[in-house]
């Protein structure tokens, strides 16, 4: 009854808990299906609530999506400042690999709306700014920090969707091992040639 992915048991009425349940259900389904593939009925069912509460509490499905992204933004702001690219990679992979991770799905989504895109850019800036400074700051460093994010998005979504067979089948330790020289190259930049 309380198994992973099924609706939670009935509980006393609690709007905050209901909002949280909808956010959690939405995060999982937006990650697994993408924004368009996740329906409000499925989100409601997974949360153990009626889908009408989505419009009630968040204004709309889009409002719920932006709230899920706002949660990711808060987590990025509350998290530690990652001092270098290796720490950032570790953090993102830990957060994204084998988990319900709406952020990596959103970063790979096909046609973000302007508010979505703005929010995602803010989150990425928050995540990458400290590590960017550690490799010298400036435009090149920002580009390399973002290359790391792009790499991890690619790794993460393809491990989740199974399209790259070896990557999907590898252990996280293996993936980290193979990523290590890439991280060094990113930390060194084109001068490392």
What is the per-residue binding string for a second copy in 15-54, x denoting contact by CB under 8 A? ----------------xxxx-xx-----------------
Task: Please identify which residue in 26, 27, 28, 61 interacts with DNA, judged by CB under 7 A.
Answer: 61
Q: Measured between alpha carbons, how far is residue 87 from residues 24, 43, 175 in Å? A: 26, 33, 15
Contact stretch for a second copy (CB under 8 A) within 15-23, 41-49, 70-78, 108-116: 108-116
Structure tokens at 120: 């995602």
d(CA 103, CA 95): 10
d(CA 111, CA 57): 25
CA 158 to chain centre: 14
Q: Which residues, 6 or more positions from 9, have their beta carbon under 8 angstroms from its beta carbon?
A: 1, 2, 48
Q: Count residues near a second copy (CB under 8 A).
A: 60
Binding site for DNA (CB under 7 A): 12-15, 17-18, 38-41, 44, 48-56, 60-62
Binding site for a second copy (CB under 8 A): 31-34, 36-37, 105-112, 117, 120-121, 124-125, 139-140, 142-144, 146-147, 149-155, 157-158, 160-167, 170, 174-175, 177-182, 184-186, 188-190, 192-193
């Amino acid at each position: 009854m309380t198994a992973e992915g099924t609706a939670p048991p009935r509980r006393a009425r609690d709007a905050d808990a209901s909002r949280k349940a909808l956010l959690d259900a939405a995060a999982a389904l937006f990650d697994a299906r993408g924004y368009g593939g996740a329906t409000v009925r499925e989100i409601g069912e997974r949360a153990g609530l009626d889908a009408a509460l989505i419009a009630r509490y968040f204004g709309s499905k889009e409002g719920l999506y932006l709230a899920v992204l706002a949660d990711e933004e808060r987590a990025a702001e509350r998290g530690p400042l990652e001092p270098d690219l290796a720490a950032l990679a570790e953090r993102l992979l830990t957060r994204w690999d084998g988990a319900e991770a709406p952020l990596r799905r959103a970063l790979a989504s096909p046609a973000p709306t302007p508010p979505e895109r703005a929010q995602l850019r803010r989150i990425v800036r928050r995540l990458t700014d400290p590590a960017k400074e550690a490799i010298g700051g400036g435009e090149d460093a920002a580009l390399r920090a973002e290359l790391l994010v792009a790499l991890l998005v690619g790794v993460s979504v393809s491990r989740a969707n199974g399209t790259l067979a070896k990557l999907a089948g590898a252990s996280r330790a293996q993936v980290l091992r193979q990523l290590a020289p890439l991280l060094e190259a990113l930390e060194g930049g084109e001068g490392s040639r």
